Amino acid sequence: MTYPVVHVKQPPKLRSPFDAPEWRAAPAGKVDRFHARSSAHHPATQFRLLYSDDALYLKFHVSDRYVLARRTHPHDFVCNDSCVEFLVAPESGDGYLNFEMNCIGTLLSYHIRDWHRIPCGFVDYERLSPELFRSVQLETTFHDVIQEEIASPVEYEVALRIPFALFQETTNVPPPRPGTRWHGNFFKCADKSSRPHWASWQPIGEELNFHQPHYFGELLFQ
C-alpha cells in the first residue's frame, strides 16, 4: 500500500487537532490490522503525515481504553505503555529509524542497520545521540504519569516533528523531493496493559514483530 506524503509550505502546529484544516491536507491512514495475539480491545487509531522543506510532521489520533503510561525516561520501553510507533526507512539509506512514543510523550528512538533480534536488542543498532534526540519535537494530549489504567473511553493525540537533518546524519540521505519513495509502517500497542494489543498500518505476518522492513508500506512524497 502507498501513502501519499503531501508537501506543505506552512508547517502544521503540533498542538492543532487531528482534524484541523492544517492537518487535513494529509489523508488519514488507519492503524487497524491487529495481530492474532491481541486481546479483544481494538482501539481506533489514525495518523496523518506531512512534510515541509526541512521536516516530517506526524500526528496520531487514538480512541482508547485501559490506558497507562508509566515510562518517563528517554529510551524507556514505552511499548509496554499505551504507545504509538513510526518506523521509517529512507530510500537507499543506511537502515531505518523507529520513533516510539507513549501517550504522555516519552520517546524511544533508534537507528537500526540490522533489524534481526539478539538478546540485547538488534544485531546492529544505536540510540540517537542526545543532540539528535533533542531535535525531535513532540506534543501529547496527556502529560502526567498514568500509573493506574484509565478503563473508561478516552481520546488522545501524539504529534511530532522530525527534522530531515536527523535522517541525513543517521542514514545519509538528502531531504525528499516530489517523487521520492521511502518506506515505513505505523503501529499502536500496549504490551503490558490489561488488554494488550498490537496493531499496524501494513500487515506484519504471523510473527509478532514490528521490526520487519520487508513488510513496510510505501511513503510517496508528493
Element (H, E) at 169: helix 164-171
The 8-class DSSP code of residue 214 comes to: G
* Beta-sheet pairing, 2-7 with 44-51: parallel
Percent of the chain with pLDDT over 90: 98
pLDDT confidence of residue 215:
98
Nearest partner of 158 among 42, 17, 53, judged by Cα: 17
Dig out the grid coordinates for 26 from the structure. 494529509
Indicate the pTM of the whole model.
0.97
Cα gap 46→49, rounded to integer Å? 10
Q: Which domains does the chain have, with CATH numbers?
A: 2-8+15-205+213-221 (2.60.40.1190)
Residue type, 93: G
- Residue from 117, 100, 118 nearest 109 by CA: 100
- List, for residues 21-60, the tens digit of each pLDDT value: 999 999 999 999 999 999 999 999 999 999 999 999 999 9
